[in-house]
Amino acid sequence: MVNDAASSLPDPGATSHEVLAHLQSGKCTTKALISEYLNFLETTGKRLGAVVEVFSQSALQEAEASDARRMAGETLGVLEGIPFTAKMNICTEEGTTDASSAMLAGFEAGVDATVVQKMRSAGAILVGKSSCDEFAMGASNESSAHGVVRNPWDESRVPGGSSGGAAALAGAFGWAIHLGSDTGGSIRQPAAFCSATGMKPTWGRVSRRGLIAFGSSLDQIGPLARDAKDCQIALEVLQGSDPLDATSLSFSESSKEPIRKIGWIRQGFGEGIDASIREQVEAARSILEKDGIEFVEVSLPTMAQANACYQVIATAEASSNLARYDGIHVGKRLSSNDLEELYSSSRSSGFGAEVRRRILLGTFVLSSGYIDAYYGRAQSVRQEIREEILSALDDVDALMMPVSPFAPFKIGERIDDPLALYACDILTVTANLAGVPAVAVPCAFDNEGLPVGMQWLGKHGDDHRLLQLASLWQELNDTWKSVPQGGQS
Ligand code: GLN
């Protein structure tokens, strides 16, 4: 028995499943664990700008209650005592849920999203809310009303987006599960930038009740954590059909067999993808080949259209979803005697520049005279993308490519160039357009010490098979184990 409570805490980079074992064996109490995690959020989490709200009081109370349940020998949840955070666009009973937008400043949902309820029922403890791009629109976390988020590996760089806060926390420190959302890459791209593991489940696998909508045919909630096993445990908890989300479904895997044959997506290694990213992912391929995984070249020509298609569909859906923030029913209101003026002044002052740009683009592509040329065409391209991916997956178990075409860039470097920011999404949007699951894992660090990520896409429902493959990779390669120096204080 160790007397000094602090000396018996898990290592800073420990996974949630290691922490579960640690708690089970009585090496520390849940209260000691949670207070140390709260300390991390208040120091590093706040310094990085990654956490917006920390729920110290309720988290410590829940930790005490959890310790009491453990002492009493009660049946414990599968995530008993594990800290978790929710992105600012996921409703929680405590605190605010403003989607990092001035439009929803101070909005208290007062109820938990289904995913938050499920995490709590599994014994996990909500410790805070993570920052994100405004309404989850972005790839650098520079559009949050709560300020920029810094990459824990180089604080002059972006953490990716839009779940940049969640990824920065997962990259900097272990122990916890972070709930993010992915409409066009927002779990995977920041995970890749921060050296975390992130999973975008099959569309519909996880309830979206309580998620502030961006692009409803693309949005999906998923976990970010240290490793694939953590994501697997979290997904088991999160998944399943929800009577309060008519788009949610239960899925089963296409096969029980582990993944042994992978399609190497040629377009993921072509023009526009930095050489250092290509080389690192190629090196990962060799490691997997040595373990007996078979690779075949796959060509997905529709990937060239995927980003344009995504920008049309995502902005169209965003303009429709965000129409509700009219200053009357929902959202910030500026007073005026004239209704038109009230709408326009409330909306122009509540929404930031990027959100306004998306609403304008989305309204344009849906407007009469243009809808067929833009939205209609994007829908048929989306169908082609989906068919191409599914037919490629007839011959292989999974598809592989990098997550981001380049390494994490400097804060401010791309912010004035929307197209340079949209270029971040070229490799991630395909999975959302096709609705298939995709998992991003740390692959290596480049010669500047910046994280490089890679991803696998699978058949609808093959989420756990993908996570098993990711776990195999994480047994063969320990890049994911690193935590940044100084990240803990
Ligand atoms: N970066 C993409 C965008 O800006 C994806 C956002 C997301 O997945 N929420 O639209």
Ligand 1 centre distance from Cα of residue 412 (Å): 18
Residues 6 or more apart in contact with residue 48 via CB below 8 angstroms:
149, 150, 152, 155, 159, 165, 168, 169, 172
Q: Give the number of the atom of ligand 1 that is nearest the alpha carbon of residue 354.
A: 4
**Rounded distance between C-alpha atoms, residue 157 and residue 160, angstroms:** 9
**Rounded distance between C-alpha atoms, residue 359 and residue 319, angstroms:** 4
On whether the 261-437 domain is CATH 3.30.470.20, my answer is no
The model's pLDDT over 135-174, given as tens digits with 9 standing for 90+, comes to 999 999 999 999 999 999 999 999 999 999 999 999 999 9
Domain ranges (residues) in the chain: 4-238, 261-437
**Rounded distance between C-alpha atoms, residue 137 and residue 321, angstroms:** 13
The distance in angstroms from the start CA to the end CA of the chain is 27
Sign of CA dihedral 308, 313, 318, 320: positive
Judged against a pLDDT cut of 50, whether residue 3 lies above it is answered with no
Q: Give the number of the atom of ligand 1 that is nearest the alpha carbon of residue 215.
A: 9
Judged against a pLDDT cut of 90, whether residue 327 lies above it is answered with no
CATH superfamily of 4-238: Amidase signature (AS) domain (3.90.1300.10)
4-238 and 261-437 share one fold: yes
Q: Whose CA is nearest to atom 5 of ligand 1?
A: 184
pLDDT of residue 486: 64
Which residues does ligand 1 sit against, CB inside 6 Å?
Answer: 136-139, 162, 182-186, 214, 314, 424-425
Residues 6 or more apart in contact with residue 83 via CB below 8 angstroms:
33, 34, 37, 59, 124, 125, 127, 175, 176, 177
Ligand 1 centre distance from Cα of residue 265 (Å): 22
The model's pLDDT over 347-395, given as tens digits with 9 standing for 90+, comes to 988 999 999 999 999 999 999 999 999 999 999 999 999 999 999 999 9
Q: Is the pTM of this model over 0.95?
A: yes
Catalytic residues: 87, 162, 186
**Rounded distance between C-alpha atoms, residue 16 and residue 225, angstroms:** 8
Q: Percent of the chain at pLDDT above 70?
A: 98
